[in-house]
């Protein structure tokens, strides 16, 4: 069963390699989607793939890379399945 979520991550998540780390972790889990910085200081992502892999990615996003400090992850909602490799997108 596949699952696709739109999420927002807040805390110290910009300027600490969070997006590149998320791209690497998603690749390890075989996920599709994207990640980008928001002008608000948050990081936004679409994570799409097998339900267990999406749940594992949510846990990893809560941890973040060593220099980050995640305050909260908000699931904005479920979205249509995303196809293709997981990628880093430009800030919006």
Digit-coded pLDDT (tens) for 44-70: 999 999 999 999 999 999 999 999 999
Point out the catalytic residue in the list 36, 37, 60, 62. Answer: 37
Confidence (pLDDT) at 64: 97
pTM to 2 decimals?
Answer: 0.94
Mean of the pLDDT values across residues 35-40?
A: 97
Mean of the pLDDT values across residues 27-38?
A: 98
The full set of domains in the chain, from first to last, is 2-81 (3.30.70.100)
**Known catalytic residue at 19:** yes
Q: Name the residue among 66, 65, 55 with its Cα closest to residue 7.
A: 55
**Known catalytic residue at 39:** no
Confidence (pLDDT) at 1: 86
């Amino acid at each position: 069963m596949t699952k696709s979520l739109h999420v927002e991550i807040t805390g110290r998540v910009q300027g600490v390699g969070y997006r590149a780390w998320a791209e690497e972790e998603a690749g390890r889990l075989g996920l599709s989607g994207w990640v980008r910085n928001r002008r608000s200081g948050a990081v936004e992502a679409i994570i799409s793939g097998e339900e267990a892999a999406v749940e594992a990615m949510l846990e990893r996003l809560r941890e973040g890379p060593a220099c980050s400090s995640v305050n909260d992850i908000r699931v904005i909602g479920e979205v249509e399945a995303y196809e293709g490799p997981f990628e880093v997108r430009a800030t919006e």
